[in-house]
Structure 1
Amino acid sequence: MKWSERFTKAGRGLAKAVGRYPLTLAFLLAAAIVNAMAIEDATILETTHNKLFAAFIVGAFLATLGQVIYEKIDGSTAKRWILSAVSAVLTGGYLWIIWGAPQFGMEIVVRTAALLSAIIIAIILVPSLKGKVNFNQSFLGAFKAFFIAGFFSGVIFAGLAIIIGAVDLLLFSVDEMLYAHTANIVFSLFAPIYFLSLIPNYWTAEEEIVDRTVACPRFLEILISNILIPLVSIFTVILVLYIGLNLRGEFWSENLIEPMLVSYSIVVIVIMFLSANLTNRFATLFRKVFPKVLIPLVVLQLVASVLKIGDVGLTHSRYYVIMYGVFAAVAGVVFSFLKPTKSSIIAMVFMAFSLLSTIPPVDAFGVSRRNQIGTLEQVLERNDMLVDGEIVPKADLPNDDKDMIINITEYIWRMGYTEDVSWLGPNFNYYNNFERTFGFKWDDFYNDGKMYRTFYRNQETAIDISGYDGLAHMRYFGENPKENLTDAVQIVHQGNTYELDWAIEGDVHNLILKDEAGNILASFDFNQVFVRFDAIEDMEEMRKGLTNEEATFEAVGNGADLKVIIESYEMYPTGRDSEEWSINSEFNALIDIKE
């Protein structure tokens, strides 16, 4: 097929999609207009943009779902208008719910994401309900359309950006906002409409079009069978060996195991859907073996997630992790013991869980709010700190209880739940009121008598650079400073080039100045910084800002002198009761090269 014919066909597909999804286009256009207004006026971005944009995106998905349902029932024009009206009313209801919120915060974002996830799966599921295709085929068709639309949209935007840049460079000045407006049009309008144009009406489309839509391209088949499945197989062996070798008490509280198992199960489930209709040996073996491997691994993830509730209570994120674990276990059972055509059960469970997590009183945020407040009350009462509805400050607590109080209080304050806690009150500020309320500091980490430390130089005082030949801004960061230090800095003085670099051997961390021949002219032992700040106990004074004298270190060498002036310094333990500490420091190095 010639390029002109392909272009014409694509144009016809877009025009058909516009006629097929008019309400979806209207919502997308409204979202693009709101984006354009926010690009031109940042105050809109801070006030109404997020709420309006989210509502219009939800509306676009609801309108698409309404059209898919209409095509499924093969109804009259009146039914189409009814479904469109329902979509518009639901969109208005969603906007009304979020409009009263003081800000577009975490709770609205997560609820919206869960709602959109359910709608997306419903859009994919409806064509598989007694239609020409099953859910696996519908999923594959949507998967292909998503990446095709994303690829072409990216290419189009890149081409337009190059054209705009060429005009700006060669002809006349172009407003920089034009790039943002172009991206808005391409990704808010073109990309979703092009995506919809790639999904046919499965009930009325010709058999050839349906087969082509749900067929797995050779490239994708090779990618799944010869690359993804072998890689997942190797990772599975490594994962099983790791679990088998480390299945002990500490294993269940490690931060690594939970996200690793969640990520693994997501990959396996997606590959199961994509490979459902493949007949090659790798895909067939994968479908037979991996669902049965998935079930015990998901159970381990669930156990690890439930055990973590005892450490930090039930947050909304852990609510979703546990809910996902249950869903993954159901998916493993369906894949293991039911026919591939029954995979729509998995989609229905996912939709049910997604919607359940947004409906009070069993929603993620309602459950987590009650659990966190209740857990905090238990810890306070256990330590006789909550008496007659008032908090009694107390510093002599077990470290684990301090951890619980610090973490839960921070979560409650960050999520805006303090107004639901009478003994904290709506005006409680975690950073300013914590120590006065509970009797100890929120940023205290007890580790061999050491505390979390943070220092900053007082920026109101300028640095005197008189008498020095160069200044370099550098950093020292991380547990393994060899991987996180600033690259070497070159200084040119009177035609000669000098290099300021690091020399690290074991616990010795030196900042050195070398000449062109590699001779060391000056060396500063950065351990001096550690020792000075580790010895400071008056944290309140240091939080006011270091004076230049307190932040300055000097080293005298044979061929040059160095002065190090700390701009910021943070020291924190790598974990609870860990003996290792991380350092994060930025500083200026002044160089005086002797004649």
Structure 2
Amino acid sequence: MKFIDKIKEKLSNLVEALSRYPLTVAFLVAAAVINAIAIHQDVDYTSYLLTFVVGAFLGVTLQAAWERFFDKSSFRMATMGLCLVLTLGYFMIVGQYTSTSMETWIRTSVALFALLIAYIWVPVIKSEISFNQSFMAAFKALFNALLFSGVLFIGVTLIISAIDLLLFRVSDKSYLHTLNLVGMLFAPIYFLSLIPIYPGSSDHNRSPVQLEHNREKVRRSCQCPKFLEVLISYIIIPLLSVYTVILIIYLGRNITGNFWTDNRLEPMLVGFAVAVILIYILASSLENKVADWYRKIFPKILVPIVLFQIIASVLRIQETGITHGRYYVIIFGIFAAISGTLMCFMPVRKNGIIAALLIGLAMFSIIPPVDAFTISRANQFARLSDTLVKNNMIQDNIISPNASLSEADKKIISDTVNYLTMMEYTNEISFLGENFDLYEDFYNTFGFYRFEENPYQQDSIYLNLNQQSPIDITDYQTFVVANFYMQDEKMEPLICNFDVNGKNYTLTREKNGEAGALVLTEATGQELMRINMKAVFDHFDTSRGGNYQISKDFMNADEATVSLENDKALISLVAMFLAIEKSESETIYNGDFYVLIQIK
């Protein structure tokens, strides 16, 4: 009976969520429908999908505001109208573009994150329920929704697979449709069904029985489960403490030199700050010595470490300029520093101030002219323009290629053009032109091959042959493709056998040395020519130091050719694709070559 009662309660909560958030449910249904159409037709409806998702988030947040501060049905209708107007406004902004840019995705994601935090915080503003309690309720609801949705998706997937294997053929798109229905409809609605109605002005419209039911649901939802208390207090906090000790030792031992611009430092410190704040809020409702110790000590540790992170990020700006990523890292650092300071002095019940600060900074970062994208676009454009002007590469809005630049200036030009292309800003730069292609036009425009930042490898080289570039084979008798992938255990030694003037020859590859060898032999086994492939790869290795890779895109055949000869043969290798991947421990050579052979 208890199991049946649980099922009835879950179904009752789902029905209650449907009536509590009608506009949100309508937007979720619309999002699921448009996603299903996109899956079936393989058409991009991203702008519509984002619009419906934004509408759904606005719906729940405005509903929470109505429940907390208003009691009249007319005000509820007004909040729904406001939701529709704001959603329509969003669609008018994103719908004017033919494709959804990275900027749109990030702006939207930040706005949705702010709405989610607002949904957790708004119902408990000046309430008997604290932000810590509402955050706990939302955290539990999210965990349960993900767990149930995951189990449901796996179960339905297994059923579809069984039908496909045992009964009849099922479309491969069935799995995507299942994921769409579970992820777009079931998961968010089930999440909302677990969020209680907090005490507020809308209580005036409810009966005593409903009020008692709501208060009991609030109590159960905001209560920390015993297993979560044990997990936080006796597993997560000790592990975070050990990590903190390691981090402090690392900071103390490496405070000088390249420490401040170390690529590993920034994400390490940001991750630490996120973990400390999240665990602090979850531990705020716990009453044990470990949680109490954590609340007293860790905010004081957080502040100086976050200041390290801010300084490191600002110093990185001197090298890379301002990008939206670094903007957000600094914004988060400011948030974490202020939050840590507040946590040192204010009682845990006031943690709602942290939520308000987070919402404010999130909205600050997406509203022009101080947003991440306006500032980063202007900064990167200025860096590019200043570098071109300094090297006399631009005149009358026309760029003159120049291969003799310093490596530092090449780096700046590469970085800025890479970033502006990634963010789809190059169409706005008159001297690049509307049809500028990073891969095809970079070399011809600037006169050198572009660098790409690569935090995990050093000075890596990547080359691709322009497939439209003609190859002169007039003086050669044999043409074949040879692949050199030294990590491939199944790479066959034999490349080909061929005849020239009635004599048989063999071309093989050997896995000796760092990059292998290409060997030409006669039928008798006599070696005519041996090419150390390391020398071939070294021909293209023009790296300059620092954690940057060089991308040689669409090289012409003459640029991609290495020719070697002796008194018996001439062999030319044209690199179709080539990769020299360098790390601190080893260098990996991989490549595909056209091999042209002339027997003398």
* TM-score, with length taken from structure 2: 0.80
Q: Distance in 2 between matches of 1:255 and 1:432?
A: 29
Confirm whether residue 585 of structure 1 aligns to residue 594 of structure 2: no
Superposed CA offset, 1:354-375 (max 9, x none):
1111111111111111111112
Contact 1:406 1:442 (C-alpha < 8 Å) held by counterparts: yes
2:146 matched to 1:150? yes
Question: Judging changes above 3 Å, is the alpha-carbon distance between structure 1 residues 437 and 85 closer, same or farther for their aligned structure 2 residues?
Answer: same
* Percent of residue pairs bearing the same amino acid type: 40
Counterpart residue identity of residue 155, structure 2 = G
**C-alpha contact (below 8 Å) 2:232/2:279 kept by paired residues:** yes
Distance in 1 between the 2:187 and 2:362 partners? 25
Q: Which residue of 2 aligns with 1:141?
A: 137
State the one-letter code of the partner of 2:461.
Y
* 2:85 aligned with 1:66: no
1:132 matched to 2:136: no
Matching residue within 368, 382, 385 for 2:390: 382
Superposition pairs of residues 27-426 of structure 1, within 5 angstroms: 27-42=27-42, 44-45=43-44, 49-203=45-199, 204=211, 205-387=213-395, 389-426=397-434
> Which amino acid in structure 1 is aligned with residue 430 of structure 2?
S
**Do 1:551 and 1:566's aligned partners in 2 also have CA atoms closer than 8 Å?**
no
CA gap 1:375/1:298 in 2 versus in 1, 3 angstroms? same
Q: Residues 299-324 of structure 1, C-alpha deviation per residue, up to 9 Å, x if partnerless? A: 11111111111111101111111111
Q: Is the 8 A contact 2:463 2:579 kept in 1?
A: yes
Which secondary structure does the structure 2 equivalent of 1:229 belong to? helix
Structure 2 matches for 1:495-514, cutoff 5 A?
Answer: none
Is the deviation greater in 336-345 or in 417-426? 417-426
- Once the two structures are overlaid, the 10-residue window that deviates more, 83-92 or 425-434, is 425-434
Structure 2 distance, partners of 1:565, 1:431, is 19
Task: Measure how far apart 1:251 and its partner are.
Answer: 0.6
Alignment deviations for residues 163-197 of structure 1 (CA, whole Å, 9 cap, x no partner) = 22222222222222222222211111111111011
| Corresponding residue for residue 557 of structure 1 | none
Deviation at 1:61, TM superposition (A): 0.6
- TM normalised by structure 1 equals 0.80
Give the Å deviation of 1:453.
Answer: 4.8
Residues 431, 442 of structure 1: 8 Å contact kept: no
CA-atom RMSD, angstroms? 3.8
User: Counterparts of 1:457 and 1:410 in 2: how far apart (Å)?
Assistant: 20
Match of 2:538 among 534, 537, 554: 534
- CA–CA separation in structure 1 for the residues paired with 2:27 and 2:241: 43
> What letter corresponds to residue 528 of structure 1 in structure 2?
N
Aligned to 1:454: 463
Distance 1:378 1:587, change over 3 A: closer
Q: Does 1:569 align with 2:573?
A: no
Contact 1:32 1:184 in 2 (8 A): yes
Look up the equivalent residue of 1:569 and give its one-letter code. L
Segments of 5+ residues of structure 2 without an aligned counterpart are: 200-210, 454-458, 472-481, 494-509, 518-529, 543-550, 565-572, 594-600
State the alpha-carbon separation in 1 of the partners of residues 323 and 385 from structure 2. Answer: 16
Q: Is the 8 A contact 1:334 1:342 kept in 2?
A: no
> Conserved in 1, the CA contact under 8 Å of 2:516 and 2:532?
no
Give yes or no for contact 1:509–1:527 (8 Å, CA) kept in 2.
no
Gaps of 5+ in 1: 462-471, 477-484, 492-501, 512-525, 553-563, 589-595
Q: 1:444, 1:196 → 2: CA distance?
A: 44
**Contact preservation (8 Å) 1:566, 1:585:** no
For residues 142 and 379 of structure 1, do their structure 2 counterparts lie closer, same or farther at Cα, with a shift above 3 Å needed? same
- CA distances 1:61-115 after superposition (whole Å, capped 9, x unpaired): 1011111111112421111111001001100110110001131110100000011
Residue-by-residue CA offset, 1:42-72 (whole Å, 9 max, x unaligned):
0x22xxx111111000000101111111111
Distance 1:147 1:551, change over 3 A: farther
Which among 438, 446, 456 is matched to residue 438 of structure 1? Answer: 446
Partner of residue 521, structure 1: none
Residues matched between the structures, number? 531
Measured against aligned partners, the alpha-carbon deviations of 1:242-299 in whole angstroms (never above 9, x if no partner) come to 1111111311111100011011111111101111111112111111111111111111
After superposition, the C-alpha distances for 1:415-451 in whole angstroms (9 at most, x for unaligned) are 2223433333323333333333333332599xxxx99
Which whole-Å CA distance do the structure 2 matches of 1:540 and 1:352 have between them? 44
